[in-house]
Amino acid sequence: MESLRPVLVTGASGFIGWHVVRELRRLERPVRALVRADSQVQQLRSLGVEIYVGDLLQADSLAAAVKGCSAVVHLAGAMQGADEEAYRRVNVDGTLNLLDAVAHHGRGLRRFIFASSLAAVGPARGSQPPDESVEPRPVGPYGRTKLEAEAEVLERRERLPVTVFRPPIVYGPRDRSLLPYFQLIRAGLLLLPGGGEQLVAVVYARDLAAAMVGALERDHPSGSVFHLCDGPARRLRDLGEAIRLAQGTPSITLRIPRDTMRWVQRAGRIALRWTPELPMWLHPDSLEMVLAAGWTCSDTLIRRTLGWEPKVTLLEGLAETVDWYREAGWLLRPWGGPLNRRELRPSKAPPGSDRS
């Protein structure tokens, strides 16, 4: 029976990976996690997850992980890099290695799910949210390499059942990418890049996980590409205000002009010459996405094809996220100190930079 064969999840120790694993285990599906040697896996083991140590860039380490699996959910990827080649090594070459391992050792695989990104499509053009038929025009190396990886996955759609997901901004418990923004607002400062008028689509991590796991259960054409979000896009300033309300703290609003952000972006590019890693809010590729006109999408196709719909409203999701951050001790001032004694608690989860 398919339900007895494990689902392999790459990036299982990361933010979205944790939610996908939790959803699979909630449905009593056996899970196999592909993790790097330095990954923290205690909590995965506590869920009954089978651990396989490997590296997407070491092709010979992948064969054992894919053998006997019913499906693969490929979440691991690079969201930041010193240059475009650094992104390509993980997002494209790593995906190719995994696809080759599936071709040679994944006999009987029923579905390969690839987590791409709305960044692969590029910013919205015009007033209508883009659907899956829009010609992609990514603006940065992350989006370009995700689009390249998509092409490699979709090229195999006649030989392997494949599905591509393009989520927008994903938020929820365990997310570290948006955490500094929550921390700043908690500390009393609401920053609005470009004035906060940019339209952005978002989706709660648990809803995204339910969509991906649902794609394993529900029949649909190989080569399907899905956009998804929690509803109409919101202005960035409205999203920031919702985060402030969820935390229940007063804050000063500071609008950052686009010209100032361009200067910060240039400084980030200079800094990358000396350090391969920068905070997301300073990384020039992240700032390029923030400077875009808007990130919106239409999720009509996934609703019609998979019957998926978001279950968590924005305010509910933000409240759950803030509660988790507080319990985990993550809501600290951006410069390091706790805001109050209540937040002096050990973290629920070990630090980690992987979003996938």
Q: What are the structure tokens assigned to 333, written together?
A: 């001032």
What is the DSSP secondary-structure string of 120-169? GT-S--SSSPP-TTSPP---SHHHHHHHHHHHHHHTTTTTS-EEEEE--E
In a domain, 216, yes or no: yes
CATH number at residue 21: 3.40.50.720
In a domain, 326, yes or no: no
Structure confidence by residue, pLDDT tens digits, 75-120: 999 988 878 999 999 999 999 999 999 999 999 999 999 999 999 9
Q: How many CB atoms lie within 10 A of CB 251?
A: 18
Q: How many domains does the chain have?
A: 1
* Residue-number span of the structural domain to which 226 is assigned: 2-175+202-231+295-311
Structure confidence by residue, pLDDT tens digits, 252-311: 999 988 888 788 878 887 877 777 677 766 777 777 787 788 999 999 999 999 999 999
In a domain, 143, yes or no: yes
DSSP secondary structure code for residue 6 in this structure? P
Q: The pTM is what? A: 0.90
pLDDT of 350 strictly over 60 = no
SS3 assignment, position 62:
coil
In a domain, 323, yes or no: no
In a domain, 8, yes or no: yes
Task: Decide: 81 and 39 in contact? Cβ < 8 Å.
Answer: no
What is the DSSP secondary-structure string of 29-43? --EEEEE-TT---HH
Q: What are the structure tokens assigned to 331, written together?
A: 């809501």
Q: What are the structure tokens assigned to 103, written together?
A: 């071709």
In a domain, 87, yes or no: yes
Q: What are the structure tokens assigned to 262, written together?
A: 């361009």
In a domain, 261, yes or no: no
